[in-house]
């Protein structure tokens, strides 16, 4: 078509216009014909697929009975529940909604992951944390002023917030502006390790998980609020922090119990529901104090008004220029949702490196090229070329994923595992359950960072990109991803450069599952100094 256009346009414009009309008509006819063929093909595939009503799964009675004492699902974690459902019903199962909740379609088929994710619209939808939405839209409506946040909204309301925060949070260049602030926090963490390790065994105390949580919270606070709270060394007995870490852990337990498992809170406000509202209240009251202090500093410091946008302004400060309500709720959500998730990710990577000393040493050799001395400073330039560091992080996140998978609500009719699925169906893609299966990933149980290196991928097989999505996928992926990646890169690189890490205990059942996975064993890492 373009070839003939170039020839005809060399003639007079009027003649060219007349001669192009038939060609355009032919092109439009071809496009319509192709669309018609696709519609017919899809219609045929749909008609040949099995009806939605034939998808296997428990009845409502079987589900409720299963969660009662003596039932097959009683006191199971979300992961264990998903494993049992797969064993009982196969790679596609329908779990019925009870007590006002929608059905959940659970898929363990990588082909389904691809289909569901590719069918996303402009505003990908997913099942919401309904207790969170209730807390912000009903229970504390006056505090939130209809600004529910990303975790509790879909559609246009979600899009408005996401469009506002993406330029601030999702650009790698912006995230790396916070390198120096995170390094200050990390320096304190290394000092703390040297202070609390056993002088004889060099092992960390059983409470080391708390130290990692403090590191994570401080790193988020210094970026979100431009302030170090002092939880690592200076203000360790901070009462608000102790309460906050406790309610954060309760938060994930209660979300699982009320938002995922069968619960009657939509019908009757149960004691667990009231505990959840109190838990949300405590989280909000503690974190909003830090946010309000930051707002007062920003408003009183007139010298900040002319600071270049490329300087290390806090996320709160940057978002205030866009929308104050969005700024406050995003700072709140970063501090609320980013502590346990990042701590778990960090712990998994460190366990992998501690249990694989040859991989740890290989990483140390790479780090020596940019950090010739143990106390050498990381810079934006030096961090650009660290392929093995990033490969170790990816592999650690594969072996110890943060959760079961990702949720989606399909916006069009799709076919999953040969079954018809009408639009607006909640779908749980249990992709992370497959990451340790050899049929999908060669030598899946081995820690092989090399599988992520471009020059060695052919030797270790390929991983389906729709199966490995540690931060979610597409427009609905984790909004704090860039900050989490930076924090993990800083911490892992500095720990490996300074310490030889060992873990001389079993890592079997190292994590327990609530809504997310959290450490279930004492993190007694042995931290011996590396000779320069």
Query: In this prediction, what percent of the chain has a pLDDT beyond 90?
Result: 55
Q: Residue 257: name the closest of 74, 126, 468, 82 by CA.
A: 74
The pLDDT, as a whole number, for residue 449 is 96
- Facing residues of 501 across strands? 527
| CB-neighbour burial class of residue 142 (10 A; exposed 0-12, middle 13-18, buried 19+) | exposed
The pLDDT, as a whole number, for residue 18 is 58
The pLDDT, as a whole number, for residue 301 is 75
pLDDT digits (tens, 9 = 90+) for 315-361: 888 888 888 899 999 988 988 888 889 999 999 999 999 999 999 99
Asked whether 181 and 223 are in contact (CB, 8 A), the reply is yes
How far lies 27's CA from each of 14, 23, 34, 35, 398, in Å? 20, 6, 11, 12, 47
Domain spans of the chain, in order of start:
130-408+471-529
Measure the CA–CA gap between 407 and 430, rounded to whole angstroms: 9
Measure the CA–CA gap between 212 and 523, rounded to whole angstroms: 10
Helix (H, G, I), strand (E, B) or coil at 472: strand
Q: Against a cut of 0.75, is the pTM above it?
A: yes
Residue 125, phi then psi, degrees to nearest 5: -110, 150
Burial 57-67 (b: 16+ CB within 10 A, else e): bbeeeebbebb
Positions in the chain whose pLDDT score sits under 50: 1-10, 16-17
pLDDT digits (tens, 9 = 90+) for 416-445: 999 999 999 999 999 999 999 999 999 999
The pLDDT, as a whole number, for residue 316 is 87
Q: Are strands 419-421 and 104-107 parallel, antiparallel or unpaired?
A: unpaired
Measure the CA–CA gap between 515 and 518, rounded to whole angstroms: 9
Instruction: List the structure tokens of 108.
Output: 């363990």
| CB-neighbour burial class of residue 223 (10 A; exposed 0-12, middle 13-18, buried 19+) | buried
CATH architecture entry for 130-408+471-529: Orthogonal Bundle (1.10)
The pLDDT, as a whole number, for residue 396 is 97
Taking the CA atoms of residue 482, residue 253, residue 149 and residue 312 in that order, the dihedral angle to the nearest 10 degrees is -30
């Amino acid at each position: 078509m373009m070839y003939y256009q170039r020839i005809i346009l060399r003639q007079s414009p009027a003649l060219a216009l007349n001669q192009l009309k038939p060609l355009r008509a032919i092109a439009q006819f071809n496009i319509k014909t192709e669309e018609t063929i696709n519609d017919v093909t899809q219609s045929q595939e749909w008609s040949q697929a099995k009806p939605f009503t034939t998808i296997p799964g428990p009845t409502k009675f079987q589900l409720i009975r299963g969660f009662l004492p003596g039932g097959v699902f009683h006191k199971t974690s979300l992961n264990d529940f998903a494993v049992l459902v797969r064993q009982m019903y196969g790679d596609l199962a329908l779990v019925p909604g009870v007590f006002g909740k929608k059905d959940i379609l659970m898929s363990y088929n990588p082909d389904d992951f691809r289909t569901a994710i590719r069918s996303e619209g402009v505003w990908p939808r997913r099942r919401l944390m309904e207790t969170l939405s209730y807390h912000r839209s009903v229970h504390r409506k006056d505090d939130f002023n209809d600004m529910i946040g990303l975790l509790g909204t879909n559609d246009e309301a979600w899009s408005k917030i996401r469009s506002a925060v993406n330029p601030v949070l999702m650009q790698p260049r912006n995230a790396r502006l916070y390198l120096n602030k995170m390094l200050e926090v990390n320096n304190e963490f290394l000092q703390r390790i040297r202070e609390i390790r056993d002088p004889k065994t060099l092992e960390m105390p059983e409470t080391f998980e708390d130290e990692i949580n403090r590191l994570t919270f401080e790193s988020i606070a210094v970026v979100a609020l431009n302030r170090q709270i002092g939880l690592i060394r200076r203000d360790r007995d901070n009462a608000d922090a102790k309460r906050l870490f406790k309610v954060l852990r309760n938060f994930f337990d209660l979300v699982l119990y009320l938002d995922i498992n069968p619960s009657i809170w939509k019908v009757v406000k149960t004691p667990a529901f009231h505990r959840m509202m109190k838990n949300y209240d405590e989280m909000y009251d503690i974190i909003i104090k830090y946010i309000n202090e930051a707002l007062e500093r920003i408003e009183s410091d007139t010298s900040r008004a002319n600071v270049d946008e490329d300087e290390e302004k806090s996320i709160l400060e940057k978002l205030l220029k866009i929308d104050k309500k969005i700024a406050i709720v995003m700072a709140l959500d970063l501090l609320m949702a980013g502590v346990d998730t990042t701590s778990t990710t960090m712990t998994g990577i460190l366990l992998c490196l501690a249990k694989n000393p040859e991989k740890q040493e290989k990483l140390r050799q790479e780090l020596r090229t940019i950090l010739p001395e143990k106390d050498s400073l990381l810079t934006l330039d030096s961090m650009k070329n660290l392929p093995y560091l990033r490969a170790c992080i990816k592999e650690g996140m594969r072996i110890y994923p943060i959760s079961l998978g990702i949720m989606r609500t399909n916006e069009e009719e799709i076919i999953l595992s040969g079954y018809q699925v009408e639009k607006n169906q909640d779908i749980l893609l249990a992709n992370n359950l497959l990451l340790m299966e050899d049929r999908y990933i060669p030598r899946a149980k081995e820690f092989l960072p090399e599988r992520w290196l471009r020059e060695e991928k052919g030797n270790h097989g390929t991983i389906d990109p729709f199966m490995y999505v540690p931060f979610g996928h597409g427009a609905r992926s984790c909004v704090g991803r860039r900050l989490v990646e930076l924090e993990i890169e800083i911490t892992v690189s500095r720990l490996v450069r300074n310490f030889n890490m060992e873990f001389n205990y079993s890592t079997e059942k190292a994590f327990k599952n609530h809504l997310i996975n959290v450490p279930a064993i004492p993190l007694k890492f042995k931290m011996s100094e590396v000779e320069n």
